[in-house]
Structure 1
């Protein structure tokens, strides 16, 4: 995928593109309203990017303590952005 517009267009499909990274796949499922599948994409991974998405997902779920734990694992603090803004920033980050 080249940009966020192309990523958003892919949300019209039933499944994510087969060549999509696991991080983008998690954000794709989240955007489709499937929190559990999004979470399952990153729950078992130990890299910083996965921790960052894991944090976002728990923030979205409303589990702030757990979210803050994962933000710390990613070396960050909980952003003062809306969830929509955070999602867009994450998509942009992992597209590049």
Structure 2
């Protein structure tokens, strides 16, 4: 099932993320709803670069740039020069495009 960015944003008013979302989008949904632990739990053990990128974002969001740097390197992504809010939007949009 495809979802637009607008629909994703609207879904954030619900108590839980839509069931059809990938683990990546669920993590970003939780992060966007200030539920860092739930977001982190979803991606911390996934073995791919997309999960590593979201994991990096989460550590950047919490202010742990050292840990974030490790995860950005694991994801093969440069430490972003944009605000965390902008990075969140970029991540959501890239996950929705898949």
TM-score range, shorter chain: over 0.9
Aligned: 1:31 with 2:32: yes
Question: How far 1:85 sits from its partner (Å)?
Answer: 0.3
Aligned: 1:49 with 2:33: no
Q: TM-score, normalised by structure 2?
A: 0.95
Question: How far 1:70 sits from its partner (Å)?
Answer: 0.3
- Which runs of 5 or more structure 2 residues have no equivalent in the other structure? none
Question: How far 1:24 sits from its partner (Å)?
Answer: 0.2
Partner of residue 16, structure 2: 15
- Which runs of 5 or more structure 1 residues have no equivalent in the other structure? none
Q: TM-score, normalised by structure 1?
A: 0.97
Partner of residue 85, structure 1: 86
**Runs of 4+ off more than 2 Å:** none
* Aligned-partner Cα distance in 1 for 2:71–2:47: 11
Cα root mean square deviation, aligned: 0.7
* Aligned-partner Cα distance in 2 for 1:24–1:7: 9
